[in-house]
Amino acid sequence: MKATFGAGCFWHVEDLLAKTKGVKSTKVGYTGGQIPNPTYEEVCTDRTGHAEAVEVEYDPNEISYNELVDVFWNNHNPTTLNRQGPDVGIQYRSAIFYHSDEQKEIAEQSKQALEKSKRYENPVVTEILPAPIFYPAEEYHQKYFKKNGLS
Protein backbone atom coordinates (compact mmCIF):
# COMPACT_ATOMS: atom_id res chain seq x y z
CA MET A 1 0.00 0.00 0.00
CA LYS A 2 1.05 3.59 -0.56
CA ALA A 3 1.01 6.70 1.66
CA THR A 4 2.32 10.21 0.97
CA PHE A 5 3.21 12.87 3.53
CA GLY A 6 4.63 16.40 3.47
CA ALA A 7 6.13 17.49 6.79
CA GLY A 8 8.91 19.94 6.04
CA CYS A 9 12.29 19.02 4.59
CA PHE A 10 11.91 15.57 3.12
CA TRP A 11 15.35 14.34 4.22
CA HIS A 12 14.41 13.98 7.90
CA VAL A 13 10.90 12.71 7.17
CA GLU A 14 12.20 10.06 4.76
CA ASP A 15 14.80 8.84 7.26
CA LEU A 16 12.24 8.59 10.04
CA LEU A 17 9.67 6.75 7.93
CA ALA A 18 12.30 4.42 6.43
CA LYS A 19 13.09 3.25 9.98
CA THR A 20 9.42 2.60 10.82
CA LYS A 21 8.48 -1.06 11.16
CA GLY A 22 6.21 -2.10 8.30
CA VAL A 23 7.55 0.48 5.86
CA LYS A 24 8.98 -1.36 2.86
CA SER A 25 10.38 1.57 0.86
CA THR A 26 10.48 5.35 0.77
CA LYS A 27 11.04 7.88 -1.97
CA VAL A 28 11.38 11.66 -1.64
CA GLY A 29 9.92 13.99 -4.21
CA TYR A 30 7.58 16.80 -5.07
CA THR A 31 3.79 16.80 -5.26
CA GLY A 32 0.83 19.14 -5.24
CA GLY A 33 2.16 21.79 -7.58
CA GLN A 34 1.40 23.26 -10.98
CA ILE A 35 4.31 22.25 -13.21
CA PRO A 36 5.31 18.77 -14.37
CA ASN A 37 8.70 17.28 -13.43
CA PRO A 38 9.89 20.12 -11.21
CA THR A 39 13.51 20.35 -10.14
CA TYR A 40 14.67 21.07 -6.61
CA GLU A 41 15.79 24.52 -7.74
CA GLU A 42 12.33 25.27 -9.17
CA VAL A 43 10.53 24.03 -6.06
CA CYS A 44 12.79 26.19 -3.87
CA THR A 45 11.62 29.33 -5.66
CA ASP A 46 8.31 28.91 -3.79
CA ARG A 47 6.49 29.47 -7.10
CA THR A 48 5.65 25.94 -8.29
CA GLY A 49 3.20 25.08 -5.50
CA HIS A 50 4.85 21.72 -4.83
CA ALA A 51 5.43 20.26 -1.38
CA GLU A 52 8.52 18.30 -0.50
CA ALA A 53 6.99 14.93 0.27
CA VAL A 54 7.77 11.32 1.04
CA GLU A 55 6.01 8.49 -0.75
CA VAL A 56 5.89 5.36 1.37
CA GLU A 57 5.21 1.76 0.41
CA TYR A 58 4.07 -0.13 3.49
CA ASP A 59 2.75 -3.52 4.50
CA PRO A 60 -0.70 -3.10 6.10
CA ASN A 61 -0.19 -6.42 7.89
CA GLU A 62 2.71 -4.84 9.80
CA ILE A 63 1.60 -1.22 10.19
CA SER A 64 -1.76 0.42 9.63
CA TYR A 65 -2.33 3.66 7.78
CA ASN A 66 -3.59 5.11 11.05
CA GLU A 67 -0.26 4.24 12.71
CA LEU A 68 1.62 5.92 9.85
CA VAL A 69 -0.51 9.03 10.30
CA ASP A 70 0.41 8.99 14.01
CA VAL A 71 4.11 8.88 13.07
CA PHE A 72 3.46 11.88 10.81
CA TRP A 73 1.72 13.91 13.58
CA ASN A 74 4.35 13.05 16.17
CA ASN A 75 7.35 14.13 14.15
CA HIS A 76 6.65 17.64 12.92
CA ASN A 77 4.74 20.76 13.92
CA PRO A 78 1.40 20.73 12.09
CA THR A 79 0.53 24.25 13.26
CA THR A 80 3.12 26.26 11.35
CA LEU A 81 1.85 27.38 7.95
CA ASN A 82 4.36 26.76 5.16
CA ARG A 83 7.30 26.16 7.48
CA GLN A 84 9.06 23.65 9.66
CA GLY A 85 11.71 25.05 12.00
CA PRO A 86 14.07 27.27 9.99
CA ASP A 87 12.70 26.04 6.63
CA VAL A 88 10.16 28.50 5.22
CA GLY A 89 8.11 28.24 2.03
CA ILE A 90 5.09 26.46 0.60
CA GLN A 91 7.29 23.44 -0.19
CA TYR A 92 7.66 22.84 3.58
CA ARG A 93 3.93 22.75 4.30
CA SER A 94 2.26 20.08 6.38
CA ALA A 95 0.13 17.85 4.16
CA ILE A 96 -1.35 14.39 3.95
CA PHE A 97 -1.94 13.28 0.36
CA TYR A 98 -4.44 10.43 0.47
CA HIS A 99 -4.66 7.56 -2.02
CA SER A 100 -8.16 6.30 -1.16
CA ASP A 101 -11.40 7.34 0.48
CA GLU A 102 -10.42 5.24 3.49
CA GLN A 103 -7.12 7.11 3.86
CA LYS A 104 -8.97 10.43 3.55
CA GLU A 105 -11.39 9.46 6.31
CA ILE A 106 -8.61 8.24 8.61
CA ALA A 107 -6.57 11.41 8.02
CA GLU A 108 -9.53 13.72 8.63
CA GLN A 109 -10.62 11.88 11.80
CA SER A 110 -7.06 11.88 13.09
CA LYS A 111 -6.69 15.62 12.44
CA GLN A 112 -9.98 16.32 14.23
CA ALA A 113 -8.86 14.23 17.22
CA LEU A 114 -5.54 16.08 17.33
CA GLU A 115 -7.29 19.46 17.26
CA LYS A 116 -9.73 18.34 19.96
CA SER A 117 -6.88 17.15 22.18
CA LYS A 118 -5.59 20.73 22.50
CA ARG A 119 -2.06 19.32 22.23
CA TYR A 120 -1.14 22.47 20.33
CA GLU A 121 -1.95 26.04 21.29
CA ASN A 122 -2.39 27.02 17.63
CA PRO A 123 -4.73 25.45 15.06
CA VAL A 124 -3.56 22.50 12.98
CA VAL A 125 -2.99 23.77 9.42
CA THR A 126 -2.22 20.42 7.79
CA GLU A 127 -3.81 20.04 4.36
CA ILE A 128 -5.56 16.77 3.54
CA LEU A 129 -5.70 16.40 -0.24
CA PRO A 130 -6.03 13.70 -2.89
CA ALA A 131 -2.60 12.45 -3.93
CA PRO A 132 -1.66 14.13 -7.20
CA ILE A 133 1.24 13.04 -9.40
CA PHE A 134 4.37 12.41 -7.36
CA TYR A 135 7.61 13.46 -9.01
CA PRO A 136 10.67 11.76 -7.52
CA ALA A 137 13.38 14.16 -6.42
CA GLU A 138 16.87 14.07 -7.83
CA GLU A 139 18.96 11.03 -6.88
CA TYR A 140 21.20 12.96 -4.48
CA HIS A 141 18.12 13.65 -2.30
CA GLN A 142 17.11 9.97 -2.06
CA LYS A 143 18.15 8.43 1.30
CA TYR A 144 20.10 11.64 1.96
CA PHE A 145 20.65 11.06 5.68
CA LYS A 146 21.84 7.50 5.13
CA LYS A 147 24.16 8.46 2.25
CA ASN A 148 25.71 11.23 4.34
CA GLY A 149 26.14 9.35 7.62
CA LEU A 150 23.39 11.29 9.38
CA SER A 151 21.09 8.33 9.97
Which residues are catalytically annotated? 9
In angstroms, the first-to-last Cα distance of the chain is: 25
State how far Cα 147 lies from the chain centre. 20
Angle at 12 between CA 71 and CA 41, to 5 degrees: 130
**Residue 119 pairs with which residues in a beta bridge?**
none
Spatial separation of the C-alpha atoms in residues 85 and 89, rounded to whole Å: 11
Q: Which residues of 19-57 are buried (b: 16+ CB within 10 A; e: fewer)?
A: ebeebeebbbbbbbbeeeebeeebbeeeebbbbbbbbbe
What phi and psi, each to the nearest 5 degrees, are found at residue 79? -110, 0
